[in-house]
């Protein structure tokens, strides 16, 4: 029985459109909260990739002008759950990615493209667009950040739905110049320090953080970190001022999609009891990445290739990794300079380092299912999902001690080995020395097959499901609906 309705508004949703972990989370949330009485509807932009995958749909609402361009809100189902799609060809019907053109440059009108999403989402949630009102609007990241502002400044604001703003990444804030404000069709009063104004321009994430009824981020530790300048990236003062509304709820993973016993992307499925299948997956990785076959430790990286992810430090450490007898299979895409550095390392170490530039979901599964350890040297990490997939697949995570990485991986030390609680390795800071040391520790541990297996099994037994977090989100929605 569901008694609470939530509209989840985002720019990505797996499996329709994905550039990172946001899509996985938005895709998984409805299933996570449903057992706790919450009926969640997702709403995303109608990019071509999304429009092509839609089944039966009907028009819920038509705009002659949604911030200047015609648009329709389409209602359909995906995975048996309701999905709303904002079909606005002027904003979304183009080649390229959700945020950037085919050359990788941000779309020139990203502000307007996502203000339109936020406006339409607020209209739907408030019952102004052919759908009955929702109890709660849940806005994800800067792309949905203006939705709480549209609710606060919309008609009938006294009876508006409650709103939740989730920060998946503070590094992307959606900041635009003051000349952009009139395009938003918000009242003049909204352009103030208590509203959408930020450093003289429009701050879309700032607006959401300022005006939402609750703020969440995707791990408890990151919720603490963003109160400091290093992680708050300019919004730390506002976050501190609203900390009574802030909580950290760690992401789970979709354990249907990511189950090593049934994963069709693996050459050989396996379980915690019977890990032997991993060897066949390792062979498949060696072939795919042209690595010299062997039983030595095989590391993987599956990542956006950016400064956030510490990929520059990874490049520095690769000669050392190979010198210690390690090999690396890396899958990623991102900054050109990092890609070039990785190619150079692969050229220096043929058969030891294999690099695949691109986005390949199936290969990501195989790497988790066959590599021995996954390296995640992020400078900051709101939650991180690849360490959770690593835990589930016996691919031991080696992580920087930050954000969700610190919250989800138990470091290996003598006590943790004795109590069988260790699930990976943590290191700090993100430097050549600390990462090199962590890799050396991992290779030494790998040499003790019994201990390594124990770490793998403890990881696989850890709770990375959505159970607790689904309950936490549902409890939050409920508190907002029934204010004390």
Q: Using CB under 6 A, list all residues that contact ligand ADP.
A: 20-22, 24, 302-304, 331-333, 359-361, 364, 383-386
Q: Is 4 in the site for ligand GLC (CB under 6 A)?
A: no
Looking at the Cβ atoms of 4 and 425, the one nearer to ligand ADP is: 425
The structure tokens listed for 131 are 């759908």
Residue 159: name the closest of 127, 130, 184, 187 by CA: 127
Looking at the Cβ atoms of 169 and 173, the one nearer to ligand GLC is: 169
Looking at the Cβ atoms of 125 and 364, the one nearer to ligand ADP is: 364
Cβ atoms 232, 209 nearer than 8 A? no
Cβ atoms 377, 430 nearer than 8 A? yes
Q: Is 168 in the site for ligand GLC (CB under 6 A)?
A: yes
- 359 makes contact, choosing from ligand ADP, ligand GLC, none, with CB < 5 to 8 Å by partner type, with ligand ADP
- Could you tell me which stretch among 241-249, 262-270, 326-334, 382-390 binds ligand GLC (CB under 6 A)? 382-390
Q: Which of 15, 20, 104, 325 binds ligand GLC (CB under 6 A)?
A: 20
- Could you tell me which stretch among 5-13, 288-296, 338-346, 379-387 binds ligand GLC (CB under 6 A)? 379-387
Per-residue x/- marks for ligand GLC, 386-415, CB under 6 A?
Answer: ------------------x-----------
Q: How far is the CB of 28 from ligand GLC (least distance, A)?
A: 10
Distance CA 76, CA 344 (A): 47
- 331 makes contact, choosing from ligand ADP, ligand GLC, none, with CB < 5 to 8 Å by partner type, with ligand ADP
**How long, in residues, is the chain?**
484
- Could you tell me which stretch among 5-13, 61-69, 338-346, 376-384 binds ligand GLC (CB under 6 A)? 376-384
**DSSP code for 190:** G
Q: How far is the CB of 364 from ligand ADP (least distance, A)?
A: 4
CA dihedral defined by 222, 385, 415, 379, rounded to 10 degrees? -50
- Could you tell me which stretch among 19-27, 119-127, 176-184, 207-215 binds ligand GLC (CB under 6 A)? 19-27
Q: Is 205 in the site for ligand GLC (CB under 6 A)?
A: no
Give residue number: closest CB to ligand ADP: 21
Looking at the Cβ atoms of 210 and 374, the one nearer to ligand ADP is: 374
Name, in order, each residue with C-beta under 8 angstroms of 25's C-beta and a sequence gap of 6 or more: 140, 168, 218, 251, 385
Give the footprint of ligand GLC on residues 274-333 (CB under 6 A): none
Phi, psi of 356 (to 5 degrees): -120, 110
Residue 8: name the closest of 42, 34, 39, 35 by CA: 42
Looking at the Cβ atoms of 30 and 382, the one nearer to ligand GLC is: 382
Cβ atoms 435, 309 nearer than 8 A? no
- 304 makes contact, choosing from ligand GLC, ligand ADP, none, with CB < 5 to 8 Å by partner type, with ligand ADP
- 302 makes contact, choosing from ligand GLC, ligand ADP, none, with CB < 5 to 8 Å by partner type, with ligand ADP
Looking at the Cβ atoms of 21 and 30, the one nearer to ligand GLC is: 21
Phi, psi of 282 (to 5 degrees): -60, -45
Q: For residue 77, list its beta bridge partners.
A: 82
Q: How far is the CB of 160 from ligand GLC (least distance, A)?
A: 26
Looking at the Cβ atoms of 128 and 304, the one nearer to ligand ADP is: 304
Looking at the Cβ atoms of 72 and 140, the one nearer to ligand GLC is: 140
**DSSP 3-state of 318:** helix
Specify the DSSP element, H or E, that contains 78: strand 69-78
Distance CA 344, CA 319 (A): 11
Looking at the Cβ atoms of 251 and 423, the one nearer to ligand GLC is: 251
Residue 403: name the closest of 240, 253, 250 by CA: 250
Looking at the Cβ atoms of 374 and 385, the one nearer to ligand GLC is: 385
Q: How far is the CB of 75 from ligand GLC (least distance, A)?
A: 26
- 218 makes contact, choosing from ligand ADP, ligand GLC, none, with CB < 5 to 8 Å by partner type, with ligand GLC
- 333 makes contact, choosing from ligand GLC, ligand ADP, none, with CB < 5 to 8 Å by partner type, with ligand ADP
Distance CA 142, CA 147 (A): 10
Q: Taking the CB of residue 185, how many other CB atoms lie within 10 A of it?
A: 15
For β-strands 162-167 and 175-176, DSSP reports them as unpaired
The structure tokens listed for 135 are 């109890």
CA geometry: angle at 207 spanning 202 and 210, to 5°? Answer: 140
**DSSP code for 292:** P
Give the footprint of ligand GLC on residues 65-104 (CB under 6 A): none
Cβ atoms 305, 338 nearer than 8 A? yes
Give the binding site for ligand GLC (CB under 6 A).
20-22, 25, 168-169, 218, 251, 381-385, 404
């Amino acid at each position: 029985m569901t008694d609470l309705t939530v509209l989840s508004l985002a720019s990505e949703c797996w499996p329709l459109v994905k550039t990172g972990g946001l899509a996985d989370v938005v895709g998984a949330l409805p299933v996570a909260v449903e057992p706790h009485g919450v009926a969640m509807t997702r709403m995303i932009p109608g990019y071509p990739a999304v429009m092509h995958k839609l089944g039966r749909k009907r028009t819920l609402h038509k705009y002659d002008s949604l911030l200047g361009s015609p648009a329709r809100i389409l209602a359909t189902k995906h995975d048996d759950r309701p999905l709303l799609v904002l079909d606005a060809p002027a904003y979304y019907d183009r080649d390229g990615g959700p945020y950037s053109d085919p050359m990788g440059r941000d779309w020139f009108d990203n502000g307007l493209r996502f203000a339109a999403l936020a406006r339409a989402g607020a209209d739907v949630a408030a019952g102004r667009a052919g759908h009955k009102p929702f109890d709660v609007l849940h806005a994800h990241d800067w792309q949905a950040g203006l939705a709480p502002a549209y609710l606060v400044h919309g008609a009938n604001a006294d009876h508006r739905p409650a709103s939740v703003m989730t920060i998946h990444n503070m590094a992307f804030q959606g900041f635009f110049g003051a000349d952009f404000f009139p395009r938003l069709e918000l009242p003049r009063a909204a352009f103030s320090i208590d509203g959408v104004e930020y450093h003289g321009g429009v701050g879309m994430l700032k607006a959401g953080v300022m005006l939402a009824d609750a703020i969440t981020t995707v791990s408890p530790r990151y919720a603490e970190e963003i109160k400091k300048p290093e992680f708050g990236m300019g919004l730390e003062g506002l976050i501190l001022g609203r900390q009574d509304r802030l909580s950290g709820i760690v992401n789970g993973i979709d354990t249907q999609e990511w189950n090593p016993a049934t994963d069709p992307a693996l050459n050989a499925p396996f379980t915690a009891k019977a890990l032997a299948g991993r060897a066949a997956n390792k062979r498949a990785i060696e072939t795919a990445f042209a690595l010299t076959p062997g039983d030595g430790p095989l590391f993987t990286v599956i990542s956006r290739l950016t400064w956030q992810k510490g990929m520059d430090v990874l490049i520095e450490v690769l000669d050392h990794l190979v010198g210690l007898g390690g090999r690396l299979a890396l899958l990623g895409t991102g900054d050109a300079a990092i890609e070039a550095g990785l190619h150079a390392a692969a050229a220096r170490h043929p058969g030891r380092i294999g690099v695949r530039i691109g986005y390949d979901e199936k290969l990501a599964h195989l790497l988790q299912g066959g590599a021995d350890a996954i390296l995640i040297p992020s400078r900051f990490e709101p939650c991180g999902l690849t360490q959770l997939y690593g835990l589930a697949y016996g691919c031991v995570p080696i992580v920087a001690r930050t954000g969700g990485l610190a919250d989800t991986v138990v470091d290996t030390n003598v006590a943790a080995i004795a109590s069988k609680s260790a699930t990976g390795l943590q290191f700090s800071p993100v430097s050549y020395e600390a990462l090199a040391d962590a890799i050396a520790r991992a290779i030494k541990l790998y040499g003790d097959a019994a201990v390594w297996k124990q770490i793998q099994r403890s990881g696989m037994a850890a709770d990375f499901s959505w159970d607790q977090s689904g309950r936490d989100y549902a409890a939050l929605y409920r508190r907002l609906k029934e204010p004390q």
